[in-house]
């Protein structure tokens, strides 16, 4: 079970510094959670992930269910042994991918925007039609979806999601929720939120049946879109259930870090951890933390890195720009990551142009190090009581006048 201790609170804000004790180690919060979708952080070994400062890794229930299968992970002794990661782990519920990949594969949409109970896409990636039809069908019991790998049909229910996650065996898992589009109407957001609440209760009941050794902790998810009354209602309903912590779902803009997140965290119990799903932009990390978020996860640092976009204290750079061809300085002067300590921009630019695999490795190491250590610095600024000064200085340097 989780043990969450708050060490220091921010004056006049919801932000806090704490420690989160799991069966596989203590997480110093706030913390950035590294995403290892398929039981691997793309292009990196577990040793590299640990060396760059990562405390916790999140794997993806949907992807591991489809490949290699959750029963394989159970036979292997669980996620930690399977991927050789000894630290804390998390899994999401699989809901987002069941809706987005199952419903919209090839459409380049991230969430279901329709208020209909059936959302389908028939066609190929280039906009033509073919014989395959990706389909997600939502009903009160769960969702039927087609695999993005082979088109086979599958069904997730709250109980099934919890069973899969227990087989995977992470320290922290999430209740099954309905993921809606941020553009969905108020009426549909309300309908989906109600379904999410009922699924939360079913997830919790199934978890309690399976969690006989009490080693796995379950987090409930708050939904409600960008509507204040729905977010507050969802926070109240979910907080009254016996969850070990809470996740806040949905797509957010920068303004929402200071509104929707605040609405929710003013209601959620103070003595349990709060996780914001899918957030990794530097400005959003500051907004989330000062409004009471303890954990974040996002694929952005590694995805950006593999495509040649790198974080620096002066903002993002594209390593493929011509000016870096003969730039023999590190990505960031003074950066302690392995890439900056050993390689130059010119070399990394060469790797990308040559399409060498090591390009993605070095870029991912740097970006993860940058974001993980930014959150650690924010944590320290709260302890030092100079959060506002650190925030203003960082944002001015990183974004200039673009915010």
Q: Which of 70, 92, 171, 244 is catalytic?
A: 92
**pLDDT for res 401:** 66
Residue 147 labeled ligand binder = no
Is 120 a known ligand-binding residue?
no
Per-residue DSSP letters for 339-392? HHHH--HHHHHHHHHTT-HHHHHHHHHHHHHHHHHHHHHHHHHHHTT-HHHHHH
* 3-298: CATH, from 3.40.50.300, 3.40.50.920, 3.30.1330.20, 3.20.20.105: 3.20.20.105
Nearest to 27 by CA among 392, 320, 294, 400: 294
| Cβ atoms within 10 Å of 202's Cβ, excluding its own | 18
- Determine contact, residues 104/119, Cβ cutoff 8 Å: yes
> Is 179 labelled as part of a ligand binding site?
no
Other Cβ atoms closer than 10 A to 215: 14
Least confident among 79-88, 148-157, 307-316, 355-364 = 148-157
Instruction: Find out whether 78 is annotated in a ligand binding site.
Output: no
Task: Decide if 92 is catalytic.
Answer: yes
* pTM greater than the 0.75 cutoff: yes
Compute how many other C-beta atoms are within 10 angstroms of the C-beta atom of residue 54.
Answer: 24
CA-wise closest residue to 14 among 266, 267, 391, 384: 266
Regarding beta strands 31-35 and 57-59, do their DSSP bridges make them parallel or antiparallel, or are they unpaired? Answer: parallel
Instruction: Check pLDDT > 90 for residue 184.
Output: no
Q: Is 223 annotated as a binding residue?
A: yes
Tell how many helices (H) and how many strands (E) occur in the chain: 15, 17
Tell me: is residue 364 an annotated ligand-binding position: no
Whether 150 is catalytic is no
Continuous H helices in 180-245:
186-210, 228-239
**118 Cβ neighbours under 8 A, 6+ residues apart:** 135, 136, 137, 138
Is 161 annotated as a binding-site member?
Answer: no
Is pLDDT above 80 for 110? Answer: no
Which has the closest alpha carbon to 362: 306, 323, 283? 306
Structure tokens at 201: 């209760």
- For strands 143-146 and 3-9, give the pairing: unpaired
Q: Residue 330: phi, psi to the nearest 5?
A: -70, 170
**CATH 3.20.20.105 intervals, the chain:** 3-298
**Using one digit for the tens of pLDDT, what is the confidence trace for 335-344?**
999 999 999 9
Sheet holding 133-138: strands in order across? 118-122, 133-138, 143-146, 153-156
**CB of 62 closer than 8 Å to CB of 72:** no
H/E segment holding residue 282: helix 282-290
Contact 151, 145 (CB under 8 A): no
The CA distance from 1 to 306, in Å, is 36
Q: Which of 51, 271, 297, 326 does the annotation list as catalytic? A: 297
Q: Is 18 annotated as a binding residue?
A: no
> Could you tell me which of 261, 385, 274 has the C-alpha nearest to residue 9?
385
pLDDT band at 131 (very low <50, low <70, confident <90, very high): very low
pLDDT for 193-221, tens place per residue?
999 999 999 999 999 999 999 999 999 99
**Of 173-182, 193-202, 262-271, where does mean pLDDT reach its minimum?**
173-182
Nearest to 353 by CA among 328, 324, 332, 330: 324
């Amino acid at each position: 079970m989780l043990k969450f201790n708050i060490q220091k609170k921010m004056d006049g804000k919801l932000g806090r510094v704490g420690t989160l004790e799991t069966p596989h180690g203590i997480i110093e919060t706030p913390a950035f959670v590294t995403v290892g979708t398929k039981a691997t952080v793309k292009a990196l070994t577990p040793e590299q992930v640990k060396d760059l400062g990562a405390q916790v890794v999140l794997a993806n229930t949907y992807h591991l269910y489809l490949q290699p299968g959750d029963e394989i992970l159970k036979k292997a002794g669980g996620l930690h042994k399977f991927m050789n990661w000894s630290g804390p782990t998390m899994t999401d519920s699989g809901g987002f991918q069941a809706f987005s990949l199952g419903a919209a594969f090839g459409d380049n949409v991230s969430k279901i925007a329709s208020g209909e109970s059936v959302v389908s896409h028939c066609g190929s990636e280039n906009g033509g039609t073919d014989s395959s039809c990706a389909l997600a069908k939502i009903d009160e019991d769960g969702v039927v979806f087609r695999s993005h790998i082979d088109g086979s049909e599958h069904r997730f229910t709250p109980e099934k999601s919890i069973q899969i996650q227990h087989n995977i065996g992470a320290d922290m898992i999430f209740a099954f929720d309905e993921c809606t589009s941020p553009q969905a109407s108020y009426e549909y957001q309300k309908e989906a939120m109600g379904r999410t609440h009922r699924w939360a209760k079913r997830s919790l009941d199934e978890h309690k049946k399976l969690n006989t050794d009490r080693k796995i902790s379950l987090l409930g998810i708050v939904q409600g879109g960008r509507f204040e009354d729905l977010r507050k209602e969802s926070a109240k309903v979910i907080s009254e259930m016996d969850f070990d912590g809470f996740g806040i779902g949905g797509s957010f803009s920068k303004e929402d870090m200071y509104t929707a997140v605040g609405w929710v965290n003013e209601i959620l119990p103070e003595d349990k951890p709060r996780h914001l799903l899918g957030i990794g932009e530097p400005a959003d990390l500051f907004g989330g933390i000062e409004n009471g978020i303890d954990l974040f996860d996002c694929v952005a640092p590694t995805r950006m890195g593999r495509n040649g976009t790198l974080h620096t204290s002066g903002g993002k750079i594209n390593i493929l720009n011509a000016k870096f061809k003969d730039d023999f300085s590190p990505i960031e002067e003074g950066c302690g990551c392995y890439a900056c300590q050993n390689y130059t921009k010119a070399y990394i630019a060469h790797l990308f142009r040559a399409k060498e695999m090591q390009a993605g490795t070095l870029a991912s190491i740097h970006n993860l190090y940058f974001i993980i250590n930014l959150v650690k610095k924010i944590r320290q600024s709260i302890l030092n009581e100079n959060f506002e000064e650190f925030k203003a200085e960082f944002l001015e340097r990183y974004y200039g006048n673009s915010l």
